[in-house]
């Protein structure tokens, strides 16, 4: 039977809860039955469901991967080619820059066309790399994972926890809205003035689309959502605008749905009625459809987290520049990239109270 050592992230927790966290695909009844039948032991001794485990104990448990009771695939068995080269993570042909890392978290510049989690997501590759590099000591109760989630098509700053404390503190910061999120987006039409889009949203999981509540027909199940939108540069032909989008809430597809409801969907975002790249006259040689299969530009440019005096002594600012191909599109649509960078910096200084006074940002 397999054995695992109880790690510091597991210490003091109930045995049944540790096992549920370690084997999420095993039915709770199967876990309870294994404990009752003494197939699960601590240091060779039978135990009860409410036994508190201690760091250093040896846990013996059934090999659920061969019984059909668990569908989990160990991260090490994914067949991944993940490795690190300096401050870059390489997954096959992909090169993913590391923005910053501590003992408790790691931030990357996620490419468009890559899922943050789940099947085909980067979370499993990151766990494999973190274990190999010694950034994370495997435990039963905790596995590194995304603290927040970027859409498949969204690029930019993506934060993952590397410890149970990191997951707890960072998740709490997002829950209490002690964060600041700034996105760069290329939208259709001319946005000539800042606007606050205050429209409640609901997410249709079956259709995988965010629904915007009609102003004349309040509905049940919709939740408040506000997005601040500020134009940076309007294209000379008026067909597109580069905007900064700052969500004050964190609903699924919030920015995409809000911009579409305001009449300015993301260029290429067909799900939310965005025009195709050919419609706005962008060369296919530069179109984001050639960037890892992506169809629009929505980039998480900056993420700031207020200091809590504990794990984050001072406010933390994480920034990630656009990928080269996306930067070329932005240059074509918005003109001088230096003026765009200056506009972003001025906006950040004026709106981000959690950002360091000398904050710099690259577009």
| pLDDT tens-digit series, residues 293-321 | 457 999 999 999 887 655 565 678 899 99
Per-residue pLDDT tens over the stretch 205-232: 888 899 999 876 667 789 999 999 999 9
- The CATH architecture of the domain made up of 75-175 is 2-Layer Sandwich (3.30)
Position 229 scores a pLDDT of 98
Q: Identify whether the C-beta of residue 97 lies closer than 8 Å to the C-beta of residue 88.
A: yes
293-320 CB burial, b ≥16 within 10 A, e <16: ebbbbbbbbbbbbbebeebbeebbbbbb
Q: Identify whether the C-beta of residue 270 lies closer than 8 Å to the C-beta of residue 129.
A: no
The percentage of the chain sitting over the pLDDT mark of 90, rounded to a whole number, equals: 35
Q: How far apart are CA 129 and CA 135, in angstroms?
A: 8
3-66: what CATH class? alpha beta
Residue 273's pLDDT band, with cuts at 50, 70 and 90, is: very high
Q: Identify whether the C-beta of residue 363 lies closer than 8 Å to the C-beta of residue 301.
A: yes
Burial class (CB in 10 A: 0-12, 13-18, 19+), 115: middle
Question: What does the pLDDT average to over 127-145?
Answer: 86
Q: Identify whether the C-beta of residue 256 lies closer than 8 Å to the C-beta of residue 272.
A: yes
DSSP 3-state helix, strand, coil percentages of the chain (rounded to 5)?
Answer: 25, 25, 50
Give Cα separations from 191 to 11, 237, 265, 272, 359 (angstroms).
Answer: 54, 12, 11, 17, 27
What topology is assigned to 179-351 in CATH?
Pseudouridine synthase (3.30.2350)
Q: For 141-285, where are the E strands, in sequence order?
A: 145-146, 155-161, 179-188, 195-198, 201-204, 209-212, 226-234, 240-247
Q: How far apart are CA 88 and CA 158, in angstroms?
A: 14
Question: What does the pLDDT average to over 71-85?
Answer: 59
Question: What does the pLDDT average to over 102-110?
Answer: 93
What is the CB neighbour count within 10 angstroms for residue 105? 25
Q: How far apart are CA 10 and CA 18, in angstroms?
A: 7
List the domain boundaries for the chain.
3-66, 75-175, 179-351
Consecutive H or E run containing 130: helix 122-133
Are domains 75-175 and 179-351 of this chain identical in fold?
A: yes
């Amino acid at each position: 039977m397999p054995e695992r050592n109880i790690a510091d992230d597991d210490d003091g927790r109930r045995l049944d809860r540790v096992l549920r966290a370690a084997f999420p695909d095993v039915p709770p009844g199967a876990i309870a039955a294994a404990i009752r039948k003494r197939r699960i032991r601590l240091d060779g001794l039978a135990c009860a469901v409410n036994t508190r485990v201690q760091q250093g104990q040896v846990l013996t448990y059934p090999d659920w991967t061969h019984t059909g009771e668990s569908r989990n695939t160990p991260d090490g068995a994914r067949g991944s080619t993940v490795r690190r080269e300096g401050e870059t993570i390489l997954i096959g042909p992909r090169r993913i820059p590391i923005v910053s890392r501590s003992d408790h978290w790691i931030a990357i510049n996620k490419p468009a066309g890559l899922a943050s989690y789940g099947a085909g997501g980067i979370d499993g590759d990151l766990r494999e790399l973190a274990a190999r590099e010694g950034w994370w000591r495997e435990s039963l109760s905790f596995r590194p994972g995304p603290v927040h989630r970027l859409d498949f098509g969204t690029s930019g700053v993506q934060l993952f926890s590397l410890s149970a404390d990191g997951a707890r503190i960072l998740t709490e910061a997002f829950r209490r809205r002690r964060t600041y999120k700034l996105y760069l987006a290329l939208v259709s039409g001319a946005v000539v003035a800042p606007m606050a889009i205050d429209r409640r949203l609901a997410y249709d999981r079956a259709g995988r689309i965010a629904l915007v509540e009609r102003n004349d027909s309040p509905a049940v199940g919709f939740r408040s959502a506000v997005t601040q939108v500020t134009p940076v540069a309007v294209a000379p032909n008026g067909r597109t605008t580069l905007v900064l989008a700052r969500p004050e809430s964190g609903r699924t597809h919030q920015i995409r749905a809000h911009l579409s409801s305001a009449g300015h969907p993301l260029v290429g975002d067909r799900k939310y009625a965005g025009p195709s790249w050919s419609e706005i006259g962008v060369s296919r040689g530069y179109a984001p459809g050639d960037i890892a299969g992506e169809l629009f530009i929505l980039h998480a440019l900056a993420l700031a987290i207020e200091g809590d005096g504990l794990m984050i002594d001072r406010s933390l600012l994480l920034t990630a520049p656009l990928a080269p191909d996306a930067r070329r599109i932005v240059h074509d649509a918005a003109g001088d990239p230096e003026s765009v960078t200056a506009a972003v910096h001025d906006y950040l200084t004026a709106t981000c109270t959690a950002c360091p006074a000398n904050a710099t940002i690259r577009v």
